[in-house]
């Protein structure tokens, strides 16, 4: 994972003072690193009966859609409000500095579907927890949650401790 870690750059004071942002842009710009990251994300789940991959807007779309393709399953975008054109189901959740909502089409997940949730980063766990709730609200089962980066000091893992969790790089 050192190869992947070397492709993540630190941006101090973004998006606000005191935050050290982990920028994955160099990783996704490098085809070999992007492929390695996706293959490592799905490695523990290759033999699991997964019916779809869900990814959170926006960077979860990058890794999640490629992971779905690699697994030979469909991709479910979990979107910010107002982005989906059909009937939706939603889950709202708290952030450190406000509220947020995730939405999915009501027919994106069928009862009993087995979903692998993928995102670029696990921080406080609010988005991941809301994503799991949304999948379950639509009748699916979360097989696991997989992340490229986990910020361990923020204890996001505690928010989704009912689900298997896999992260490639921990800070």
In this predicted structure, the answer to whether residue 97 has a pLDDT above a threshold of 90 is no
Domain ranges of the chain: 48-170
* Active-site amino acid positions: 59, 96
pLDDT given for residue 93 in this prediction: 94
What is the reported pLDDT for 35? 98
* Mean pLDDT to the nearest integer, 44-61: 97
Higher pLDDT, 97 or 156: 156
**What is the average pLDDT score of the chain?**
96
Instruction: Give yes or no for a contact between 169 and 134, defined as CB atoms under 8 angstroms apart.
Output: no
In this predicted structure, the answer to whether residue 38 has a pLDDT above a threshold of 90 is: yes
User: Can you say how many angstroms the Cα of residue 56 is from the centroid of all Cα atoms in its chain?
Assistant: 5
Q: What is the pLDDT of residue 95?
A: 79
Q: What is the pLDDT of residues 104-156, one digit of tens each?
A: 999 999 999 999 999 999 999 999 999 999 999 999 999 999 999 999 999 99
Are 147 and 117 in contact by the 8 Å Cβ rule? The answer is no
> Residue 5: is it exposed, middle or buried by C-beta count within 10 angstroms (0-12/13-18/19+)?
middle
Domain 48-170 has CATH 3.30.1330.90: no
pLDDT at position 94 over 90: no
Confidence of residue 98 (pLDDT cuts 50, 70, 90): confident
Q: What percent of the chain has pLDDT over 90?
A: 95
DSSP-assigned states of every residue in the chain: -HHHHTT-EEEET-SSTT-EEEE-HHHHHSHHHHHHHHHHHHGGGTTS---EEEEETTHHHHHHHHHHHHHT-EEEEEB-TT--SS-EEEEEEEETTEEEEEEEETTSS-TT-EEEEEEEEESSSHHHHHHHHHHHHTT-EEEEEEEEEE-GGGTGGGGGTTS-EEEEEE-
Is the confidence at residue 67, as pLDDT, over 90?
A: yes
């Amino acid at each position: 994972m050192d190869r992947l870690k070397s492709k993540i750059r630190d941006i101090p004071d973004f998006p606000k003072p005191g935050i050290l942002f982990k920028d994955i842009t160099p990783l996704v710009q490098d085809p070999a690193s992007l492929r390695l990251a996706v293959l490592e994300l799905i490695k523990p789940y290759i033999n699991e009966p997964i019916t779809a991959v869900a990814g959170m807007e926006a960077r979860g779309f990058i890794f999640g859609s490629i992971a779905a393709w690699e697994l030979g399953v469909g991709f479910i975008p979990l979107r910010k409000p107002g982005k989906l054109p059909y009937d939706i189901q939603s889950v709202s959740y708290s952030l450190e500095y406000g509220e947020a909502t995730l939405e999915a089409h009501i027919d994106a997940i069928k009862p009993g579907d087995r979903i692998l949730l993928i995102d670029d980063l696990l921080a406080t766990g609010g988005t991941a927890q809301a994503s799991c709730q949304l999948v379950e609200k639509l009748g699916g089962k979360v097989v696991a949650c997989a992340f490229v980066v986990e910020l361990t000091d923020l204890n996001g893992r505690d928010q989704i401790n009912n689900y298997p969790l896999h992260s490639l790089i921990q800070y």
